[in-house]
A and B are shown apart, each in its own frame.
Chain A
Amino acid sequence: MSSTLPDPRPNADSIAYWESAKQGRLVLRACAECSHKHFPPRRLCPVCWSESLHWTDATGLGTVHTFTIMRRAPVPEFAAQVPYVVALIDLAEGPRMMANIVGEDAHAVRIGERVSVCFEQRGDWAVPQFRRISD
């Protein structure tokens, strides 16, 4: 995908996430009290409400929970990308996140397939994306 696409918009909850992505790392919030790992990043743990949280590196491995091939772009920024794949990825650590499946064989994606994270430049930032693992 190209750099005309929307840039990430970091805020106080997410700045460390986006700074990490810029360095090629996918990070999650982990709870010191109950050890639950969550995404998107919050100020407290959504399971036990502890405010004692830290950032932890994800393996970047996941499986495709579901996906769609977008035939019509919701906003003009994505019009040139059509058709593109939007998917929900179940990370090995537990949390689920939305991303595009990228790469030449992206349209061959199937539910349950293993994927690994990669990073796509967006202006000064980078967004986590996923590729199919061929094995």
Chain B
Amino acid sequence: MSLRNSAVVVGIGESDIGHLPHMTGLGLNAQAARRALDDAGLRPDDIDGLVTAYSMTEPYFMLGTVLCEYLGLQPGYCASLVAGGATPAVMVGHAAAAIASGQANTVLVVTGENRASGQTRDQAVAALATAVGHPYFEYPYGPSIPGCYAMIARRYMHEYGTTREQMARVAVTTRMHACLHPNSHMKTPIEIGDVLTAKPIADPLTLLDCCLISDAAGALILTRPDRASGARSAPVWLYGIGEAHTHEHLSSAPSLTEFGVTRAGAAAYGMAGITPRDIDVAQLYDCFTIVPIIELEELGFAPRGAGGEFWEAGHAQIGGKLPVNTHGGMLSHAHAGAAGGMFGIIEAVAQLRGGLGPRQVEGASTALVHNEGGVLSSNCTLVLGRERR
């Protein structure tokens, strides 16, 4: 059974974003959920399924039922998923499958954390280093998450000639986009030189090559296509989804230059019955500047090794050949645990609905979202569209 046309997104909601010590992680989730429900024109009683991710800042084990309890929901379907940064796209797949199988009619898909204020920056970096690095065979050598991605970047530069300036261009472009978004975390324009001379983190990456640490949550409401008639905005259709899981730890990755993005993308394109040429706008995971360069190539938007030039030539800018991360991505809009990739899905839906003013990609009718977790370990691609396909 294919998930093509199995479900539609009828609601999207972002919590407040930034450094928000007056809000808890659950509170952020609740705010995003409330906004998504209002956006959909639905009531809490309409929700009979919930899918969420995990929290590293709050001490809850079964986060899905914890959230249901907090929100006063008693659904017939509930899942808490852990695929790192790939989780939001994977969550959409689970929600659609629950709808397609009749386990649920209307599913709240929500995730977020108080990563900025729920822990210190040092705690955030340490928690991630111990969660993503191999506890026995990597941790004794002191890698960090930026360090792992720095090693990917270094190898990529070595094999394909990708330059620091091209990577910096990713940060500059997405910051430019974030400046057009009313709810983005960072709105001060930056230039190439700012990225190159920012505080060094792990060579070749500087602070501005690294994603933000925000307090933020995002939510979607997915429902059965035949129930979407009363929605306030035009429903956005799920065309395709694909996953690929190739390793967990960097030292066990099959390759440092070819990842599971290609396979995930091919599966999503296949289910959707389209090719990369049909995509009007892409929201790519950008935890570090090298990543959306690699993803552009693996998803078929640029030849291998030409992803950096794609950014450098301005093709990824709003108005360019394929606008990427039109909300600012995790580098400039928000990053809070599993919520990082969720904002890419929300932005894809917003772009397909239209009417975003200067940030609108003209005529956007098909959008791609790619999420990845770990160190390009778990990959999930979504293809979404404006009309039933």
Contacts and interface: CB of A to CB of B under 8 A. Distances in A.
A98 interface: yes
A86 B151 contact: yes
Interface string B238-249: 000000000000
A99 interface: yes
| Main SS class of interface, B | helix
Contacts of A81: 142
Contact of B141 (A7, A9, A100): A100
A71 B201 CA distance: 5
Given A70-B202, A88-B251, A98-B137, A78 B142 contact: yes
A40 B137 contact: yes
Contacts of A65: 155, 256
A81 B155 CA distance: 24
Contact of B155 (A5, A14, A99, A111): A111
B154 A72 contact: no
B139 A6 contact: yes
Contacts, number: 108
Given A69-B202, A71-B202, A86-B147, A97 B140 contact: no
Nearest to B139: A6
Interface string B242-266: 0000000011100010000000000
Contacts of B137: 14, 39-40, 97-98
Which of B158, B199, B251 gathers the greatest number of chain A CB atoms within 10 Å?
B251
Classify chain A: how many residues form its interface, as a range. Answer: 35 or more
Contact of A98 (B130, B138, B152): B138
B150 interface: yes
Contacts of B144: 70, 72-74
A40 B142 contact: no
Given A74-B125, A74-B143, 4 more contacts: A11-B136, A66-B151, A68-B150, A76-B126
A112 to B, nearest CB: 8
Given A73-B142, A75-B129, A111 B202 contact: no
B141 A99 contact: yes
B140 A70 contact: no
A74 B129 contact: yes
Contacts of B155: 65-66, 111
Which 9 A-B pairs have CB atoms at the shortest separation, nearest pair first?
A: A74-B129, A74-B144, A78-B142, A68-B150, A66-B155, A71-B200, A69-B203, A66-B151, A98-B251
Contacts of B154: 66-68, 111
B134 A40 contact: yes
B176 to A, nearest CB: 27
A70 B147 contact: yes
Given A66-B256, A96-B251, A111-B155, A72 B202 contact: yes
Contacts of B303: none
